[in-house]
Structure 1
Amino acid sequence: MDYDSLEKANSDNFTGKADLEHTEKLKLDRHGFPLVPQPSDHPDDPLNWPKWQRVYIAVLVSIIAFTAQLGSSLINPAFVQMSKDLQVTVEQASYCTTVFILFSGVFSMFLVPYANVYGRRIVYVIFIVIAAASQFRSAGAPSYGGVIAGRVFNGIAGSVPLGLGPATICNLFTQGERGFYMGIYTFSVTNGPHVAPIAGGYIAQRLGWRWCFWIPGIIQAALWVLLISTLPETLFSRKDHSMLEKQSYAQKLLFHGKVLDRKVRPRDFVGSLRMAQYAAVLLPSLWYMTANTYGSALFAVTGSHLAATVYHFNTEQTGLFMGVPLTVGCIIGEASAGWVRDVLINAYAKRHGGYRKPEARLYLLPLTTLLAVGTATFGYCI
C-alpha cells in the first residue's frame, strides 16, 4: 500500500486552482494537469522509461498472472475423470482448485513486504520457477496426496503475480493512464479461470487429465525464461535517487540486494489488515471477495459435478458449460472497466482544476447489481 499512500499525499498537495500557479515547476500530462506521482529526473525512474517498454512489462506481468490463473482451473472440467482415476470423490478432486485459491490468496501477504524492499523482479524470478515445478509435481504424482501437495506449492507461487501485479503496474504509470493497463491486468487475472475450462475440457478428453497440469507448467517454464531475460526491476525510490548511477539494461536484470534502504518490519506483514479500518478499503475488498466467490469460484468447483449429474455432459461439453458464459461476461465487463475509469477520473479533473478525485469512479457502482441477477438466475435454472 506504500504507492497508494504516496499518491494520496501527492493528490492532497494539489487540491485546486490555487496550485495551478506552481504548475510550471511540475511535470504535466497531455491534459495539462500535474502527473501523480511526479516522475523524478533520473533516467532509471520507471515513469521515465520509453512507453513501449512500460507497456511490454505490463503485458508480460498480465500474461504471467493469466497463466497462473489458467493453471489453477484447467483441471476443473476433469474432476469426474480425475476422481475415478485416483479413487477419490468428486468433492475431493475439487480441492485441487480450492487449495490453490486459499494459498494464493493468503501467501501474498507474506511476500509483498519483501518485494517492497528487495524489489519485484527477484520475487517473480524465484516463485515462477516454483510454479512450473509444482505443476510438474502434480502432473506426475501417482497419488491424490501428491497432486494436492503440488497444488499447495502452486498456489503459493501463484500468489506472486496476483499480489505484485497491481503494484508493478503502479510503478510504471501515473494516475489517469494506469486504469487502462490495470484493466488489461484485471482482465487477465479474472478470465484466466474462465478460459481454462474451455481448453481443459478438450485437453482432458483427448490427452488425459494429467496434461491439465503438464501444459501450464510448460508455459510457466517458458515465461520464466522470458522473465529472467527481459523483466527489469520496477521498484524505485524517488526520495533517495540523487546518488544513483544510471544503469544499463543488463544491470537492471541483476539482483543488487535491497532496492529501498529500509528494513522489513513485522508490522509490514499486517499492513493490508490495518487498512481494513478504512471503509474505502474494506467495502471494495468485501465486494471483490463476494464477487469472486459467487461469480467465479463457486461455479469453478461445482460446475463439473453439476454438468455430469444434471445434464450428463462429457468432459468437453463440461468445459464449454463452465467457461464460455463467464468468459463472455468478463470480456464485456473487464474490457471496458479500465479505460472507462480513466475517462471518468480525467473528466472530473477537467471540471475541478486538475484534481483527480478517486470517488469519481463510483458512477460505475450500480453495475455491480448484475452479479446478484446473474447468480440468482443461474441458481434458479439449475
Structure 2
Amino acid sequence: MPTPDPKDPLNLPEWRKWLAVGALCFFGALALTIEHVVGGLIPIFVLEYSGIDPKTIIDHPRNVSTSPTDNMNGLDSLSNLGGPSISQVTLLSTLPLAINGIASFFLVPISAAIGRRPVILIAGILPWIGGLWAGFSTSLGSHLAARCLQGFGVGTVEALIPLMIQDLMFIHKRNKALATLWSSQGILIICLGISSPFIVAQLSWRHLYWIYSGIAACAWLAIILLVPESRWERSKEELAGNEVYPLRPGKDRPHLDHEMYGRRTRWTDFGIFNIPLRWSSAVSTLWNSVRCIIFPNIIWIIALSSVASGAFGAFSQTQAAVLLAAGWDFKTLGLAGLTMIAATPFILLSAHAVDMVGSWMARRNGGQREPEFLLPTLLVPVIISIVGFVVYSYGAANIATVSSIVILTAFFLMTYGGGTASTILTSYLIESHPDIAASVLVTVSSLRHLVGFLLNFRATDWIKSVGFIRLFSIYSSIFLAMAVFGMVIYFRGKQWRAWGNGKIRETADRGMLNGEKV
C-alpha cells in the first residue's frame, strides 16, 4: 500500500517508473552481456597468453577444429600451447562471478543505510573503468584484476537492481519488470555480442573492451538522469497491503496529500543522500542476510540456482571452442547469440503468464496471494533447462559428426529456461520475505555465485577428464533433484517462511532494529 506522500516511489507516474526500470535494465543487461562475450573469447585469450597471434584462429579457424574422424571435443587443440592452462584463462569468465557475489554483501547493506541511488551510481562507474583497464592490460594477472573490478560493479545486477524494482513496482507488475531485466540482454547482444567477433577480427579484443566501456558510461549517465532514489521506509501493515490510510470511495490507494508532505522536487528526483541515513539498517540487513541462510526455502533456491549457474558457466566457457571445432569461422561466432534474442520474447510472454497464474490462484484463494502460487510455473523452465543441458552435452561430445544446430538449440533452451526460472525465483523471494527483501536477495545472490563458481571454475579440466556428457549429466541430475524438492516447498513453504519471518520480527520487537520501520 503506497502512502499519501508524493515522494513515495510507488506514487511515481507509470511512465516514470518504466523509464527508471528501463535504465536499470540497460545497465544490468550490458553488465550481463559482457560476461557472455568474454566467455566466447576464451580461445582468443588462450592464444594471446601463450604468445601466439590470435589471428591464428581468426584467419585459420581449422587450426582449432577437428577432422570428422577425430571426434574431439574442441578443447584438446587449445591445450598444451606453452602458456597458462585453459582453466586459468577461463578465470576471466568465472572469477568475476565470484566477486559479484561478494560485492552484494557490501553494496546492498550500504544501500539500506545511505540509499539505493548513491550506491548504484558509485558501483556503476566500476564496469567501464574496469573495461578501460582490461583494454590496456599487458598480462593475464592485470587482465584478471580488471575483470574483478568489473565484477564488483556488476554486483548490483543480481541483488540491488531487483531490490530497486521492488521499491518502484507494485507486486502484480514486479514479475514483468524483472523479466524485462533478464530478457533485455538479447537487445544488447545484437549490438555487442554478435558484433564482438567482427570487432576482434578487424581491430583487437582490446578495442572490444574500450567500446564496451563507452556504452557502459552511457548506461551510467542514463541511471544518473532517469533513476530516482527508491529506498522507502514502510511499516509491516503497508507491506501487507492493508488500508493504513483513509481511502476515498471507489479508490484502492490514498489520495496524494501535497499540503502535508510537500511535492516532489528536482532534488527528490536527481539528488543523492536525500533521505535519512540509517546505518543501523545496514547492520540489520547484513545480520539478517546471515540468519536467513538457515531458512529452508532460501537453502532450496540457493541450491537450485547454483547448479544452474554452474552448468551455464561450463557452457559459456566451452561453446566458442565447440563451434570452432564444428568448422565455424571465428567472425561468425557472435551469430550464436541470435538464439538468445529468439528466447527473449518467450521469456517476456512467460513472465506475463506467471503473473496471470498468480492472480488467478489468488482469486481462487479469496483474493489472498501466496508466494507459493508462483512455484508451479517453474515446471516448464526447469524441464526445458534440463533438456538444454542434455542436448548441449551430446552435441559438444559429438561435434565432429552432428550439426552445430544442436548446439544452437541447446543455447536457446538454456537461455529461455534459465531466464524464466530466475524471474520466477526472484519474485518468489521478494514476495516471501518483504520485510527483509534486501537481506534474502543478498544471501541468494552471493551464495549462488560463490557456489556456482566452485561448480564450474575448472569445468574445462573436468570435461577433458570425464567428457561433456558425464559432466552435464551430473549437473542435470542435481538440478532435477533440487527441482523435485520444490514440491515440498510448495506445500510446506508457507509454514517455513512464516517461521523465518517470525524470527526476524521477534528480533525487531526486541528493539534490535531501534524501533525503525523496515
**Normalising by structure 1, what TM-score?**
0.81
- Output the CA distance in 2 between the equivalents of 1:285 and 1:325: 27
Query: Post-superposition shift, 1:282?
Result: 2.2
Structure 2: tracts of 5 or more residues without a match = 51-82, 239-256, 397-518
| 1:300-348 CA-partner distances (Å, limit 9, x unpaired) | 111223233x324332233334x344443x4255222321121011112
Q: Does 1:303 find its partner at 2:313?
A: no
Q: Note if contact 1:170-1:178 (Cα within 8 Å) is conserved in structure 2.
A: yes
Instruction: Show the 5 A alignment for 1:122-161.
Output: 122-161=118-157
1:188 is matched with which residue?
Answer: 184
Structure 1: tracts of 5 or more residues without a match = 1-37
Q: Does 1:356 find its partner at 2:369?
A: yes
**2:123 counterpart letter in structure 1:** F
Q: Does 1:318 find its partner at 2:314?
A: no
- Output the CA distance in 2 between the equivalents of 1:299 and 1:157: 24
Q: Note if contact 1:74-1:197 (Cα within 8 Å) is conserved in structure 2.
A: yes
**Do the aligned partners of residues 286 and 190 (structure 1) sit closer, same or farther apart at CA in structure 2, a change above 3 Å counting?**
farther
**1:45 counterpart letter in structure 2:** D
Q: Say which of 14, 19, 24 aligns to 1:56.
A: 19
- Output the CA distance in 1 between the equivalents of 2:118 and 2:285: 19
1:376 is matched with which residue?
Answer: 390
Q: Note if contact 2:175-2:355 (Cα within 8 Å) is conserved in structure 1.
A: yes
**1:380 counterpart letter in structure 2:** Y
Query: Post-superposition shift, 1:351?
Result: 2.1
| 1:147-196 CA-partner distances (Å, limit 9, x unpaired) | 11110100001111322111111111111121111211132369878986
Query: Post-superposition shift, 1:60?
Result: 0.9
| 1:15-39 CA-partner distances (Å, limit 9, x unpaired) | xxxxxxxxxxxxxxxxxxxxxxx10
Instruction: Show the 5 A alignment for 1:225-374.
Output: 225-239=221-235, 245-256=262-273, 259=276, 261-264=278-281, 266=283, 268-294=285-311, 296-308=312-324, 310-321=325-336, 323-328=337-342, 330-331=343-344, 333-367=346-380, 368-374=382-388
- Bigger mean CA offset, 342-351 vs 74-83: 74-83
Taking only aligned residues, the RMSD between alpha carbons, in angstroms, comes to 2.7
- Output the CA distance in 1 between the equivalents of 2:371 and 2:8: 24
SS in 2 for 1:177: helix
SS in 1 for 2:229: coil
SS in 2 for 1:74: helix
Q: Note if contact 1:69-1:193 (Cα within 8 Å) is conserved in structure 2.
A: no
**2:302 counterpart letter in structure 1:** S
1:9 is matched with which residue?
Answer: none
Query: Post-superposition shift, 1:212?
Result: 2.4
- Output the CA distance in 2 between the equivalents of 1:290 and 1:197: 25
- Output the CA distance in 2 between the equivalents of 1:360 and 1:264: 30
| 1:212-258 CA-partner distances (Å, limit 9, x unpaired) | 21121111111222222332101112359x98654402343222365
Q: Note if contact 2:24-2:227 (Cα within 8 Å) is conserved in structure 1.
A: no
**Do the aligned partners of residues 278 and 142 (structure 1) sit closer, same or farther apart at CA in structure 2, a change above 3 Å counting?**
same
Query: Post-superposition shift, 1:267?
Result: 5.1
- Output the CA distance in 2 between the equivalents of 1:92 and 1:313: 25
**2:179 counterpart letter in structure 1:** G
2:452 is matched with which residue?
Answer: none
Query: Post-superposition shift, 1:101?
Result: 1.3
Report percent identity of matched pairs.
21
| 1:31-51 CA-partner distances (Å, limit 9, x unpaired) | xxxxxxx10010001111100
2:218 is matched with which residue?
Answer: 222
Query: Post-superposition shift, 1:115?
Result: 0.6
Query: Post-superposition shift, 1:122?
Result: 0.3
**Normalising by structure 2, what TM-score?**
0.61
**1:145 counterpart letter in structure 2:** G
What is the number of equivalent residue pairs in this alignment?
341
SS in 2 for 1:83: helix
2:73 is matched with which residue?
Answer: none
